[in-house]
Amino acid sequence: MTTANPAGTPAGRRTAGTDVSGHGTRRLSTETKSALKTTEFFAYIACVIAVLIASMLVGTEEGHLDYFRADRAWLYIVILTVGYMISRGLAKAGSRDHYDDDS
């Protein structure tokens, strides 16, 4: 008969991530990295700022209409936002961000 340690594994057996005493860290994972740690977040922010600046700078001149009005700029920002949300959804669907639990 084998005795079990507090981790629930038989004495003399170690599971991945345990030390000799049977205590150790568990390998856990979240869905993905935090959105603030990704390059797509910063690219999204840069594109939104670029659209707003372009909308502000392109204006009416003599003989020309304002062809990049605010309503068109906000439409582009909505399209960028939908694209960003789709990219985050795809990232969450196919990856894991691993971390250790020291409890």
Higher pLDDT, 5 or 53: 53
Specify the pTM.
Answer: 0.56
pLDDT digits (tens, 9 = 90+) for 31-78: 667 777 778 889 999 999 999 998 888 877 777 777 888 899 999 999
For the chain, strand residue ranges (E) read 26-30, 97-101
Quick check: helix, strand or coil at residue 26?
A: strand
Distance CA 7, CA 67 (A): 68
Q: Are strands 97-101 and 26-30 parallel, antiparallel or unpaired?
A: antiparallel
**pLDDT at res. 93:** 78
Give CA–CA dist 50/58, Å, rounded: 12
Average pLDDT, the chain: 74
Query: Higher-confidence residue: 88 or 74?
Result: 74
What's the rounded Cα separation, in Å, for the pair 8 and 23?
Answer: 11
Q: At what angle do helices 39-57 and 70-94 cross, to 10 degrees?
A: 170
